[in-house]
Chain A
Amino acid sequence: MTQYLITFRTLTQAQRAARLLERAGYTVTIRRAPAKLSVSGCGYAAALRKRAFEAVELLRGHGLWTGKLFRLEENGDYREVLP
């Protein structure tokens, strides 16, 4: 199944976004962002399996969209799918 990561600068930002998504019916896991996706170092990500673009819209609508959206590719790399 496809895996998406929405990245955040801080843990609390990720938690706040995850709460909103969970209330909207998403299954979300908070994790450390892969090092190569974390420009400033030690970033966080909300991982989800589906409806990622809708999730981004929801976060935008609540002023919680501060990061980027990545999709896990078959070769194990993450590719940015939304700027």
Chain B
Amino acid sequence: MPPSKNASLLRSLVSEMDALASRVSKKEFPIPLCKIAEGRKITSVDFCPLLVDAMLTTHSEGFRILLNSDGGRPKELKEQYNSESKVRMLNPRLRFSIAHELAHTFFYDISKKPPQLAKTFTSGGRRTALDNLERNCNTLASHLLLPSSMFRNEFLRLKEITPESVLNFARKAGVSLQALLLRLNKSDSLFIGRYYRGCIFLIEQHEHKISVQAIAKPKSLNIARQLSLMRSGETWKLKAHDGSFAMLDVVTEMSKSQKRYKICVAETGRFEGINSFLVTFEEG
């Protein structure tokens, strides 16, 4: 099967995810994964220590999802999953893992007992069938957690794009900043809609090393070359600062230059000597 058939299967599944998640959530964040799971014949979601993030099993009544409790208390996590609400959600990593496993169920005929595999991706685009399946299930999971229309409306409703507003958006939707930025990075029309000539970065600082974890930037807007060249995984060296403006010596794979930008920063996490920050760059 040529790659275009993979693309067409992905498109149709994305539409299905968008519609389903909007419907069950009544167009309000966060998307209640528990309700989607019921509709997909997930009879149980269990938490236990695993060597992987999550597993999907089939049995005569449908599916079961096993999730890595990763040091958490399995019973409490299960209770939290069953009673998720706006004020009490599972952590974003677990929500993404559940959404990813839910995405896998859409490849099955769930009218059969046990469910039978009915469709799949094939190899293509220099990737194996397995790689394509996993990557596309991540995309589908992203649409289950952030259905396109709700995602668009929420982003366009933000009064301004600051680290705080982006952080609040992620918290409201119950998604990680990485997942949110990854999705934003694929949604050029949203940046155009706001005419946002800038970039949003999630960076990690460990001692004096600052590395880019995730990035969202417009593709079609004419932003500074230094911003458009920035890539995930690169390292920054901060030289000096002066009020709301900073001189940033940006070393990328393709260029080394200095330029002034308006920069806003918010700390988003601190763990074992690593600090995470959300940074917005905007041309003045």
Are A and B interaction partners?
no
